[in-house]
């Protein structure tokens, strides 16, 4: 027998659910869709019966009755996926229990391609679109205003009247700096990326406010090479050497750690180092494992999924920028007590 025939033969229908639950088909349908008048006990009995039988409602029929497609489009120019993949994971977690599917469209920075994908999403009658990207101060190369479906922006810039979600860079930088000060470090330096990035400015201001106006800040590129070069510049400048370095991302931090090791400087005994992003492939491979600020992108995605559902259901959602808190993930590079998972199988400490 063909696989398709097996699936068809074993498919549980709503008639089967109604028969086993001892109710009419109409009652079963209303119970599963949370509509109609009945006792809560009846509604729960029908739902439990459907779950035990493995009943899966027909997606097309469900879409027709509720005037929805139960799909959401995710549009991004982050084709590398560094930021989009964790955001998408959170979105999927938020939507899967609601029977909503997500399909991803990568547009790079091509306006024509972006418009093509938006048109395709509208042709598929998506319930909404989530726009995401690779930095919070740049918009995608397509105008999403005035669309017939709701739009939520996550980790990318949106219009003033839109619902936009971003990580709280200032809060994350402040927590990292205060952690270093709490460890007794007194000579702090911040090595970060290009000053043209809004996230860089927010983190630098928070660092200065916590560490003091005299604490040095070095701007450069988002690379290990820049972290390595920045240490070389500082060590040759004749200025008092830092006992703590807070970095703008994990790649910079890895370059810093390597440069310190080459100079015989022990991390964290002589200098504590903290990164930003919690990019596991970099943070866990750094020696010692890197303490870093996690931007909570998965949680940001969950919130974006929750809000797009509310908008799709016609519920009111207040527009504006919502900042979600970051969390400090403590490993060994800052003198914390946590042990990296790769060392002893223990999870790093989250603050």
Q: How confident is the model at residue 339 (pLDDT cuts 50, 70, 90)?
A: very low
CATH number reported for the structural domain that contains residue 163 in this entry: 3.40.50.2300
Model confidence, pTM: 0.78
Q: Tell me: pLDDT of 1 over 60.
A: no
Q: Are residues 197 and 312 in the same domain?
A: no
Q: Are residues 209 and 88 in the same domain?
A: no
- Count CA within 13 A, CB hemisphere, residue 256: 37
Residue 256 falls inside a structural domain: yes
Looking at residues 159-166, what average pLDDT do you find? Answer: 96
Convert 78-126 into a string of H (helix), E (strand) and C (coil). CCCCCCHHHHHHHHHHHHHCCCCEEEEEECCCCHHHHHHHHHHHHHCCC
Residue 153's closest CA among 100, 76, 90? 76
CATH number reported for the structural domain that contains residue 31 in this entry: 1.10.260
Residue 60 falls inside a structural domain: no
What was the pLDDT predicted at 350? 66
**Omega of the bond leading into 288 within 30 degrees of 0 (cis):** yes
Please, are residues 189 and 218 in contact by the beta-carbon 8 Å criterion?
yes
Residue 54 falls inside a structural domain: no
Q: Are residues 250 and 179 in the same domain?
A: yes
| Cβ partners under 8 Å of residue 229, min gap 6 | 220, 255
- Which range among 6-15, 98-107, 124-133, 331-340 shows the weakest confidence by mean pLDDT? 6-15
Residues 254-284: pLDDT tens digits? 999 999 999 999 999 999 999 999 998 899 9
Residue 337 falls inside a structural domain: yes
Please, are residues 133 and 109 in contact by the beta-carbon 8 Å criterion?
no
Q: Are residues 222 and 332 in the same domain?
A: yes
Token pair, residue 245, equals 């370095």
Q: Are residues 343 and 312 in the same domain?
A: no
Residues 96-139: pLDDT tens digits? 877 788 999 999 889 999 999 999 999 988 999 999 999 999 99
H or E stretch covering 163? strand 163-167
Residue whose token pair is 């800040």: 217
At how many degrees (to 10) do helices 297-312 and 84-96 cross? Answer: 50
Please give the C-alpha separations between residue 141 and each of 106, 125, 276, in angstroms, as whole numbers.
12, 22, 27
Residue 134 falls inside a structural domain: yes
Q: Are residues 152 and 178 in the same domain?
A: no
Q: Are residues 120 and 177 in the same domain?
A: no
Q: Are residues 291 and 225 in the same domain?
A: yes
Name the domain count of the chain: 3
Q: Are residues 285 and 189 in the same domain?
A: yes
Q: Are residues 33 and 130 in the same domain?
A: no
Residue 85 falls inside a structural domain: yes
Q: What's the domain range around 117? A: 71-167+297-325
Q: Are residues 98 and 209 in the same domain?
A: no
Residue 62 falls inside a structural domain: no
What was the pLDDT predicted at 36? 77
Q: Are residues 123 and 249 in the same domain?
A: no
What's the whole-number average pLDDT of the chain?
Answer: 88
Please, are residues 153 and 311 in contact by the beta-carbon 8 Å criterion?
no
Q: Tell me: pLDDT of 7 over 60.
A: no
How many Å apart are CA 176 and CA 249, to the nearest integer?
12
What was the pLDDT predicted at 341? 39
Residue 58 falls inside a structural domain: no
99 or 351, greater pLDDT: 99
């Amino acid at each position: 027998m063909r696989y398709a025939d097996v699936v068809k033969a074993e498919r549980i229908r709503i008639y089967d659910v109604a028969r086993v639950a001892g109710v009419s088909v109409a009652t079963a349908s209303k119970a599963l869709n949370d509509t109609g008048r009945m006792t809560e006990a009846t509604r729960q009995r029908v739902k439990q019966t459907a779950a035990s039988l493995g009943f899966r409602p027909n997606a097309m029929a469900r879409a027709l009755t509720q005037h929805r497609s139960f799909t959401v489009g995710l549009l991004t120019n982050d084709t590398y996926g560094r930021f989009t993949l964790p955001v998408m994971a959170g979105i999927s977690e938020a939507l899967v229990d609601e029977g909503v599917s997500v399909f991803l469209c990568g547009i790079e920075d091509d306006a024509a391609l972006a418009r093509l994908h938006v048109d395709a999403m509208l042709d598929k009658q998506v319930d909404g679109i989530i726009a995401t990207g690779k930095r919070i101060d740049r918009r995608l190369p397509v105008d999403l205003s005035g669309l017939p479906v709701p739009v939520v922006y996550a980790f990318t810039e949106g219009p003033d009247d839109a619902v936009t979600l971003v990580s709280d860079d200032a809060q994350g930088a402040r927590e990292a700096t205060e952690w270093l000060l709490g460890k007794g470090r007194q000579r702090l330096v911040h090595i970060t990326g290009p000053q043209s990035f809004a996230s860089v400015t927010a983190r630098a201001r928070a660092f200065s406010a916590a560490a003091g106006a005299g604490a040095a800040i070095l701007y450069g590129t988002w690379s290990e090479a820049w972290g390595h070069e920045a240490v070389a510049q500082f060590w040759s400048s004749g200025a008092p050497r830092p006992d703590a370095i807070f970095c703008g991302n994990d790649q910079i931090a890895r370059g810093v750690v390597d440069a310190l090791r080459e100079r015989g400087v022990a991390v964290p005994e002589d200098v504590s180092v903290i990164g930003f992003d919690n990019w596991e492939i970099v943070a866990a491979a750094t020696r010692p494992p890197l303490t870093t600020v996690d931007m909570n992108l998965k949680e940001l995605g969950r919130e974006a999924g929750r809000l797009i559902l509310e908008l799709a259901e016609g519920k009111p959602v207040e527009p504006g920028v919502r900042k979600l808190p970051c969390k400090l993930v403590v490993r060994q590079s800052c003198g914390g007590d946590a042990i990296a998972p790769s060392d002893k199988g223990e999870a790093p400490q989250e603050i």
